[in-house]
C-alpha cells in the first residue's frame, strides 16, 4: 500500500502532464481522487496548465463534489505514474473509476 505522500506526488505528476497539454488550455475544474484503501480523498484544482491546491482529507469528510472524480487504490495510482499500469485498460477493467460531466469526459478523452 502506497503512502499518502506518494499518492499526492503521483497525482500531481499524472494530472500535471494532462494539464500541460495544449488540449487542456483553458481547463479550470475541481478534482478529487478517492483512495479507499487509505481512507483518504485528494482534492485539488486543474487550472492554468497545472494542478493547484492539492490536499488530503479523510474519506468520510463532507467536501464539495468535484467536477472530475477519480477512485482507485493507492497502488494503482502510483502504478499509473510508473507506467506499469495504463489508464485505458485500468478504466475498462474497473480498477480506475472516472466520473465527470459529459463535456469534461469528452475533453479528458482527448487528453488521455
Output the pLDDT for position 39.
94
Phi, psi of 35 (to 5 degrees): -120, 85
- Grid cell locating 15: 494530472
Predicted confidence (pLDDT) at residue 110 exceeds the cutoff of 60: no
Predicted confidence (pLDDT) at residue 29 exceeds the cutoff of 70: yes
Q: How far is it, in rounded angstroms, from Cα 61 to Cα 70? A: 16
Output the pLDDT for position 40.
95
Q: How far is it, in rounded angstroms, from Cα 57 to Cα 91? A: 24
Q: How far is it, in rounded angstroms, from Cα 46 to Cα 26? A: 10
Residue extents of the structural domains in the chain: 4-102
Output the pLDDT for position 15.
80
Region of poorest pLDDT, from 20-24, 73-77, 106-110: 106-110
Output the pLDDT for position 112.
58
Query: Under a CB-based contact definition with an 8 Å cutoff, are residues 30 and 64 in contact?
Result: yes
| Fold entry, domain 4-102 | Nonspecific Lipid-transfer Protein; Chain A (3.30.1050)
Output the pLDDT for position 111.
57
Amino acid at each position: 500500500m502506497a503512502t499518502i505522500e506518494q499518492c499526492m506526488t503521483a497525482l500531481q505528476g499524472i494530472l500535471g502532464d494532462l494539464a500541460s497539454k495544449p488540449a487542456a488550455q483553458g481547463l479550470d475544474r475541481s478534482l478529487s481522487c478517492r483512495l479507499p484503501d487509505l481512507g483518504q480523498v485528494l482534492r485539488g484544482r486543474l487550472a492554468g496548465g497545472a494542478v493547484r491546491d492539492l490536499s488530503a482529507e479523510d474519506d468520510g469528510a463532507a467536501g464539495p463534489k468535484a467536477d472530475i472524480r477519480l477512485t482507485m487504490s493507492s497502488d494503482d495510482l502510483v502504478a499509473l505514474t510508473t507506467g506499469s499500469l495504463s489508464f485505458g485498460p485500468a478504466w475498462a477493467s474497473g480498477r480506475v473509476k472516472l466520473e465527470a460531466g459529459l463535456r469534461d469526459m469528452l475533453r479528458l478523452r482527448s487528453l488521455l
